[in-house]
Amino acid sequence: MADKKLAHQPDYTDINPANWRDYPDVLTDSWWDFPSRDRTGGHKLVYHGNFIPQIPYQLMMRYSRAGEIVLDPFLGAGTTAIEALRLGRRCLGIEIQPGMVDYVRDQIPADKLDKDIRTVMGDSTSIHTWRRVTEELVAMGAESAQLAILHPPYADIIKFSSVNGDLSALGDSDEFVTAFAKVVGGVWRVLDNGRFAGLVIGDIYKNGETVPLGFMCMELMRRVGFKLRGIAVKNINGNEVGKGRTANLWRYRALAGGYLIFKHEYVVIFQKPK
């Protein structure tokens, strides 16, 4: 039977809403609960803070089409790139750590590297890096990207490197947001009009108070011009064990200190206006 068609079929996805029953694994609500990390298809847990593949899967399925370019300005261990290959997308990633760039490139099949998957080693807050991104897009036969996925470090909660320009070295939240604004400006310039960006971010607890880093970054992207389309809350229950501390110790500290234990982060959906 031929697919049903809608008069208003979205041009940013391969999903046909008229056949909504065919996509049981695609989330449309604001609570994202993943009981474990997907370790199939080449995905590995390389370091604590490496985000789970299910997030780029959801974003690519909802907001990109096969063959389109997904931009990741914080490529890290290459989760976005590997998931892009699995879903028939292309990926252009920026990473500030030379060792991680080498690691990602080693994970990509030779026939896909520098063709469907391209990397830029550089500081995503730098205009020089974004000039290189433009050049790489041209090499991919494009002028812009069709989806952006941003998973920045949560200030200095996990320090990933001592490389100059690494956002994970910025302990002051205002300084972090100022630097992050430069990344968002670069994304804005190379993202197609009408297309989407997904921000994966959490809040932090510092100096006896909760710092709403997620909301600060959300508001920044709105000020740049992105339209806020939705906020999903992702369950990260279990991360306290991953940090080498037992749940009981965290519970004791919460009761003694009067705070709440973070068991969530945000996946924020934005759209660049047409």
Query: How far is it, in rounded angstroms, from Cα 82 to Cα 240?
Result: 27
Report pLDDT digits (tens) over 96-126. Answer: 999 999 999 999 999 999 999 999 999 999 9
Query: Which of 24-38, 161-175, 197-211 is most confident?
Result: 197-211
Asked if the model's pLDDT at residue 216 lies above 90, the reply is yes
Give the model's pLDDT for residue 243.
Answer: 47
Query: Which of 183-192, 233-242, 259-268 is most confident?
Result: 183-192
Asked if the model's pLDDT at residue 19 lies above 50, the reply is yes
Inter-residue long-range contacts of 100-107, CB under 8 Å, 24+ positions, other chains counted:
100/75, 100/76, 101/75, 103/46, 103/77, 103/78, 104/75, 104/77, 104/78, 107/42, 107/78, 107/81, 107/82
Query: How far is it, in rounded angstroms, from Cα 198 to Cα 135?
Result: 23
Between 44 and 148, name the one with better pLDDT: 148
Give the model's pLDDT for residue 42.
Answer: 56
Asked if the model's pLDDT at residue 128 lies above 80, the reply is yes
Report pLDDT digits (tens) over 137-155. Answer: 999 999 999 999 999 998 8
Instruction: Report which secondary-structure segment, H or E, holds 256.
Output: helix 247-257
Looking at every residue in the chain, the average pLDDT score rounds to 89
Give the model's pLDDT for residue 256.
Answer: 92
CA atoms 62, 65, 66, 70: torsion sign: negative
- 186 CB-near residues (< 8 Å, 6+ apart): 73, 124, 127, 129, 130, 133
Give the model's pLDDT for residue 248.
Answer: 83
Amino acid at site 10 = P
Give the model's pLDDT for residue 37.
Answer: 66
Give the model's pLDDT for residue 179.
Answer: 95
- Split at pLDDT 50, 70, 90, the class of 232 is very high
- Split at pLDDT 50, 70, 90, the class of 156 is confident
- Cα first-last separation, the chain: 35
Cα 4 to Cα 10, 14, 62, 85, 257, distances in angstroms: 14, 13, 18, 28, 56
Choose among 84, 58, 62, 56: nearest CA to 12: 62
Q: Is 209 helix (H, G, I), strand (E, B) or coil?
A: strand
- Split at pLDDT 50, 70, 90, the class of 1 is very low
Report pLDDT digits (tens) over 60-99. Answer: 999 999 999 999 999 999 999 999 999 999 999 999 999 9
8 Å CB contact between 235 and 155: no
Give the model's pLDDT for residue 239.
Answer: 46
Query: How far is it, in rounded angstroms, from Cα 132 to Cα 158?
Result: 28
Q: What are phi and psi of 22, to 5 degrees?
A: -80, -5
- Split at pLDDT 50, 70, 90, the class of 157 is confident
Neighbours of 131 (CB within 10 A): 12
Dump the DSSP string for 119-156: EEES-TT-HHHHHHHHHHHHHTT-SSEEEEEE----TT
pTM of the model: 0.90
- CATH architecture of the domain with range 31-271: 3-Layer(aba) Sandwich (3.40)
Q: What are phi and psi of 211, to 5 degrees?
A: -105, 115
Asked if the model's pLDDT at residue 177 lies above 90, the reply is yes
Take residue 161 and report the two structure tokens written for it: 């490197």
Average of per-residue pLDDT across 156-167: 80
- 27 CB-near residues (< 8 Å, 6+ apart): 58, 232
Asked if the model's pLDDT at residue 241 lies above 50, the reply is no
